[in-house]
Amino acid sequence: MTKFHSHAVRGVQQPIRIASYVWLVAFLISCTSPTPAPQVFPTFILVTQAANASPTATPFQPSGEINTSVPTFTQVPPVTAVSTNTLTPVPTLTTTLTPIPPTQVAVAATTAVPPPVDPARTNYILSAELDFDAHTLDVDETIRYYNNTGVALSDIVLSVQPNRYGGAFSLFAVFQDNMTLTTYSLNDQRLTLNLSQPLQPGSATTLGIKFKINIPVKASEGLFGYDYNQIDLVDWYPFVVPYINNSWTLHDPLSFGEHLVYDVSDIELNLKTGSDVVVAASAPSEQNGEWTRYRLYGARTFTLSASDEFLMSESAVGPVKIRSYYFDGYQAAGEGILYAAVQAVSIFSVKFAPYPYETLAIVQTDIHDGMEYDGLVFLASDFYGQYGGGAKNNLVSIGVHEIAHQWWFGLVGNDQAMEPWLDEMMATYSERIFYEFNYPRYGDWWWQFRVDYFSPSGYVDTTIYDGGTFRAYTNAVYLRGAHFMEDLRVRMGDDNFFAFLKDYSTRYSRGRVTTADFIGTVRANTTADISDVIVNYFLGSY
Ligand SMILES: [Zn+2]
């Protein structure tokens, strides 16, 4: 996920685009340790369809940092609603995707229906009223928390990301089992509830939280917040963090890399907005009286983006509805990424596991690369502006990367701060699989454009805290990770390698993996000795 440092201002972008390009070049020259920056800038452009294509400068720098400075976007008065135009749906595209053998497409079409609410999982029911123009969100949250930690809990810790933004989060009241709870503390991102009696293993409690968010201005390198025509709500409600190895897991944020770790939960959101606001969300919507209800089961987090200017095109892979939300002037790009998404969901459903949710939303926004959430991914407006058709570009490669995170983050979770390679390496290598099966002649292009151009070095098992610069971090985790996967595949052979991918995504479906789980599942799928491959890429011994 991520962004670099320009601002893709829709409509008025020429000067800004040039400025960002200069910055991009400066970035490439200035911050590549430990390996020196590539000396020859864009040789790969020669093999690219789009004349101006160049790799995103900061592939996958995630959100998470807070920048309270004045944003750089140009305020443009809201254009009166072109908004709710739903363009003529794009026909279902799977039948035209000849590169995938027909039997595989048939399997892809049996994509999963989400599991029912699981009483052993944390259940969130949220009622939220969004005032789009005033940038406020009033929320009543009910959490049914089931203690499956195996130990008695004297406190419960929740993540409250909006509280990292000065003045954005107002906590009105906390309840436990319908009684007001006053023994809590809220410090930065951490809300600690001190329970009057320990919560015994195997028992449940119901928590209530009333709060309001004064949605902040979206920082140029962040997602959470509003700009002139869009509100992005990510990690916006308090959630119980995982309890791992006898402690609540809530890592410190960093300027790059994701720091949050999630359990799988069942989420219901009842939402009210103004009638001219279009909402892109992690789940399908239905009317519930005067509310719009969304239900997302077996997921990490519920995300939405609202705009009074969204245009939308949709397609499907079997029962999975895929919707692309974009802005006026970007229809070709919005439909281009929709087509790629259909291809990606098709091939990943075959090669990994059925797509984990009922819907997928792809949302254009002002960030600098992309960012994944369950059932919803954000992609940079710059990529839409650069798009010239085809698949050799940032919009498709980064878009496919974020879509792959639906499996490697959503379905199979991990500690994104301490073992980020488990989701980032897998999402990056999934791009290679996407091109391999849909555009087999683009293999060399992909390795050069997305990986080797950056001369990757470093250890794959780097944490977000010991990666040094952002460039060094992504070079080690994402890009050397891609080479690790390729070497592993050669050592195992294709049959065992793809059997491993299925075994891994099935065995740890809606769970959370560790490095030991990954390596153990590899070893369960091959008799080959992989120890030298691991030594070559990993600092730790496994
Ligand atoms: Zn990623």
For the stretch 10-51, pLDDT in tens is 333 333 333 333 333 333 333 323 333 333 322 222 223 554
Q: Angle between the 331-351 and 494-507 helix axes, to the nearest 10 degrees?
A: 100
For CATH 1.10.390.10, the residue range(s) in the chain are 14-80+406-537
CA of 481 to the centre of ligand 1 (A): 12
* 139 Cα to the center of ligand 1, angstroms: 30
Q: Report pLDDT for 482.
A: 98
Structural contact between residues 385 and 13, judged by C-beta atoms closer than 8 angstroms: yes
pLDDT at 489 over 50: yes
Q: Tell how far the Cα of 408 is from the centroid of ligand 1, in angstroms.
A: 9
pLDDT the model gives residue 113? 47
Measured distance CA(403)–CA(376) in Å, rounded: 8
Distance, in Å, from the CA atom of 118 to the CA atom of 302, rounded to the nearest integer, reads 17
| Contact in structure between 209 and 141 (CB atoms under 8 Å) | yes
pLDDT score recorded for residue 48: 36
Please report the pLDDT score of residue 115 as a whole number: 56
Please provide the CATH number assigned to the domain covering 14-80+406-537.
Answer: 1.10.390.10
Kindly give the distance from the C-alpha atom of residue 1 to the centroid of ligand 1, in angstroms, as a whole number. Answer: 4
What is the strand order of the sheet 370-373 is part of?
Answer: 311-317, 320-326, 359-365, 376-380, 370-373
| Higher pLDDT among residues 184 and 80, named by residue | 184
Amino acid residing at 38:
P
Q: Looking at residues 258-287, what average pLDDT do you find?
A: 95
Q: Are 215 and 207 in contact (CB under 8 A)?
A: no
Model confidence over 276-291: pLDDT tens digits?
A: 999 999 999 999 999 9
pLDDT computed for residue 108 by the predictor: 37
Rounded to two decimals, the pTM is: 0.82
Question: 291-333 pLDDT, tens per residue?
Answer: 999 999 999 999 999 999 999 999 999 999 999 999 999 999 9
Which secondary structure element, helix H or strand E, spans residue 208, and what is its range? strand 204-214
Residue whose entry in the numeric block shows the structure tokens 């479906």: 509
| Ligand 1: centre distance to CA 236 (Å) | 20
Residues of the chain with CATH 2.60.40.1730: 122-387
The C-alpha R_g of the chain, in whole angstroms, comes to 22
Cα→Cα distances 203→115, 122, 125, 364, Å: 22, 12, 19, 42
63-67, 143-147, 372-376, 440-444: least confidently modelled range = 63-67
Q: Sort 333 into a burial class: Cβ within 10 Å, 0-12 / 13-18 / 19+.
A: buried
pLDDT at 368: 86
Tell me the pLDDT band of 221, cut-offs 50, 70 and 90. confident
What is the pLDDT, as a whole number, of residue 8?
33
Cβ neighbours around 256 below 10 Å, total: 24
Q: Alpha carbon of 22 to those of 18, 53, 55, 503: distances in Å?
A: 6, 15, 14, 45
- CA distances 43 to 20, 30, 144, 274, 452, Å, are 20, 19, 55, 49, 12
pLDDT at 80 over 90: no
Distance 173 CA to ligand 1 centre (A): 36
- Enclosing H/E stretch for 330: none
Phi and psi at 78, nearest 5°, equal -55, 130
Calculate how far, in angstroms, residue 530's C-alpha sits from the geometric centre of ligand 1: 25
The answer to whether 512 and 242 have CB atoms below 8 angstroms apart is: yes
- Across the chain, mean pLDDT equals 83
Q: At residue 393, does pLDDT exceed 90? A: yes
| Cα distance between residue 356 and residue 412, in whole Å | 10
Q: What is the pLDDT of residues 150-208, one digit of tens each?
A: 999 999 999 999 999 999 999 999 999 999 999 999 999 999 999 999 999 999 999 99
Burial of 50: CB neighbours in 10 Å, binned 0-12, 13-18, 19+: middle
Per DSSP (E only), the strands in 253-336 are: 265-272, 278-281, 285-288, 291-299, 304-307, 311-317, 320-326
| pLDDT on residue 82 | 32
53 pLDDT tier (thresholds 50, 70, 90):
low
60 CA → ligand 1 middle, Å: 5
- Residue linked to tokens 């460039």: 471
The answer as to CATH 3.40.50.300 being correct for domain 122-387 is no
**Residue % of the chain over a pLDDT of 70:** 79
> What CA–CA distances, in Å, run from 98 to 103, 186, 254, 430?
11, 54, 43, 19
**Separation of alpha carbons 381 and 368, rounded Å:** 8
Give the per-residue pLDDT at 47: 29
Q: Please give the distance, rounded to the nearest whole angstrom, from the Cα atom of residue 409 to the centre of ligand 1.
A: 9
Q: What angle do CA 357, 86, 301 make, to 5 degrees?
A: 25
The Cα 159–Cα 212 span in angstroms is 15
**Residue carrying structure tokens 């954000």:** 378
Return the pLDDT at 467.
Answer: 72
Ligand 1 centroid to Cα of residue 430, in Å, is: 10
| Separation of CA 419 and ligand 1 centre (Å) | 13
